[in-house]
Amino acid sequence: MFKIYYKMALCYLSLHSDGKFLTRVEFCENKEQDENCALLDLARKELDLYFAHKLKKFSVPVLMQGTAFELKVYKALRELPYGKIVTYKEIAEKIKHPKAFRAVGNANAKNQIPIFIPCHRVVSNHKIGGYSGGVDLKRFLLKNEGVDLK
């Protein structure tokens, strides 16, 4: 297993890989020692481009893990365009489970590869919704993509 740390504006990202896939991304407050591989170099480069507004879609291969329902949600999230937000209900409808908007929220909360699987682009009908890295980080990521939610 490999792990590197990526410094972003509000925190560090801990990027994990098995050498073939990005397997996990965690928000953390400090950096430990890197154990790098070529795939994580690519992830770091793509994050640099993403935060510089020069990359709209990640190409790093990710290992999506979860139930069959969660995998449908993650696949739908990966299809969301840069700078576009949708509601939990819209994702539920897209994956043909129109009443499962709460389950979509639960799947987002379990997303092990945030940013690369862009669950930050999903909001509730009346507010921004939750985020594993906190609402301030969700607002930061959306603002980086040109979406300014109050």
Query: Which residues are known catalytic residues?
Result: 119
Cβ within 8 Å of residue 96, ≥6 positions away: none
**In the structure encoding, which two tokens stand for residue 89, read together?**
């209900």
**Separation between Cα atoms, residue 15 and residue 43, nearest integer Å:** 8
User: Angle at the Cα of 71 (from 132 to 43), degrees rounded to 5?
Assistant: 60
**Separation between Cα atoms, residue 47 and residue 130, nearest integer Å:** 22
Measured in residues, the chain has a length of 150
Q: Is the dihedral of CA 5, 28, 89, 21 positive or negative?
A: positive
**In the structure encoding, which two tokens stand for residue 97, read together?**
């489970």
Find residue 8's DSSP bridge partners: none
